Chain A
């Protein structure tokens, strides 16, 4: 009989892990709380840096994991150590015993309404990065005007913000902002686009190219200053205030659309899971790996492994690489035991 491996979370991390576990001859069992696989990536339209279609990527992966057991709209009720195994009880009454459990429960998108000064949910013209991805997919959102004259992007919303309880940099949103700024310019070439940033963090392969493209080919304006407040004008537009720190002057601009780059924060449901089985939580709220250099896929408990954004902010290629690494760690753990 094939060995069971429980995967908690069917995002791209969980899916990639299932694919690799199948190749190695295991029986991966994915537990996903939503009604579909793919996690956050299923909400996005095109992925940087190659503008890969999210849906094609996920469809391809779904085809490759047809033989995996998948429980959708399912949650873990409890998880207990049982000898050298874990007993995982699901809310549908199913009971699984497995020697290895992979936690791939991902992140939460910061709730932009918490930053009241930005007016999300209050002003019609304020949306989030996730809302904009949804619009790229469906082209239906009453908040997005037909011919915007000016569009702004606010970086670091809920990230690098001690008051919001998140000191970490979300790492993907600078690149996402520039990617989305370019996409807006492609759709609305006449629109003026402004990115309000504190630092531009374009660390990955080809990310800096997006920045150069945005400047040279699309004329996106980069303003170094954190937006301090947003207000509505009488004609239903939004006025944004910041300090233009490079000239040292207060600055304001009126926009038809403001996009808040909500950050990646820890998933509170993961913490419930961690409590059930005694997994360590890091001071940023994400799961704490054994270390952050060499064994990021390993937890403080034998037989429990991590992959993807449940341990911190990650890009898709990082998540996928970690899923593969975690599978190898699981394989070594089971064959050497």
Chain B
């Protein structure tokens, strides 16, 4: 191929036609409350790890639905459970994170 001095970068479009949600579905099977997250951000706002590490459970739940790798974020979780105290949808967020660890362990 001729070199024009630039290259095409991979499209950053999220294509819902082809997105793989196997992991998200697996999470929902084991932790049905994952479905009722309304992306309010209370968990991330109260997160002890968030401001230094970029951990955000809100983003994790969304990213899984978009087939993005959430392991870098999850690895920063300190399991403090503060998020569980604040979630207005009463999701057991700490438990949900532990379930995700279990899914990735397999």
Q: Which of A117, A164, A198 contacts B40 (CB 8 A)?
A: A198
Q: Would you list which residues of chain A between 239 and 263 have a CB under 8 Å from chain B?
A: 241-245, 248, 250-251
Q: Which residues of A contact B90 (CB under 8 A)?
A: 162-163
Shortest beta-carbon distance from A105 to chain B in Å: 27
Tell me whether B93 is interfacial, beta carbon within 8 Å.
Answer: no
- Contacts A198-B40, A243-B56, A245-B58: A250 and B45 contacting too (C-beta < 8 A)? yes
Interface residues of B in 56-85 (CB under 8 A from A): 56, 58-59
Check if B22 is an interface residue, CB within 8 A of chain A. Answer: no
Given that A162-B89, A245-B58 are known contacts, is A229 also in contact with B40, CB under 8 Å in the complex?
Answer: no
Among the listed B42, B47, B50, B59, which residue makes an inter-chain contact with A226, where contact means beta carbons less than 8 Å apart? B42
* Complex: A245 Cα to B46 Cα, angstroms: 13
Number of interface residues of A (CB under 8 A): 23
- The CA-CA distance from A224 to B46 in the complex, in Å, is 15
The total number of A-B Cβ pairs within 8 Å is 60
Instruction: Considering the complex, give the chain A residue whose CB is closest to the CB of B39.
Output: A245
Task: Determine if A225 is an interface residue (Cβ-Cβ < 8 Å).
Answer: yes
Contacts of A242 in B (CB 8 A): 41-42, 45
Asked if A227 and B45 make an inter-chain contact with CB atoms under 8 angstroms apart, the answer reads yes
Do A243 and B89 have beta carbons less than 8 Å apart?
Answer: no
A198 to B58, CA, bound (A): 13
- Verify if A314 is at the interface (C-beta below 8 Å from B): no
Q: Which residues of A contact B47 (CB under 8 A)?
A: 250
Q: CB-CB contacts of B22-47 with A at 8 A, as 1s and 0s?
A: 00000000000000001111101111
Given A160-B88, A250-B51, check contact A228 B42 (CB 8 Å). Answer: yes
CA–CA, A250 and B54, complex, Å: 9
Are A250 and B86 closer than 8 Å at their CB atoms?
no
Report chain B residues within 8 Å CB of A164.
Answer: 88
Specify which chain A residues have a CB less than 8 angstroms from the CB of B86 in the assembled complex. Answer: 117, 228-229
B87 proximity list for chain A (CB < 8 A): 163
User: A146 CA to B88 CA in the complex, in Å?
Assistant: 34
With contacts A226-B40, A226-B88 known, what are 16 further pairs, Cβ within 8 A? A160-B88, A162-B89, A163-B88, A164-B88, A198-B38, A198-B40, A199-B38, A225-B45, A226-B41, A228-B41, A243-B58, A244-B41, A245-B39, A245-B40, A245-B41, A245-B44
A-B contact pairs, 6 of them (CB 8 A): A226-B40, A242-B42, A245-B58, A250-B44, A250-B47, A250-B50
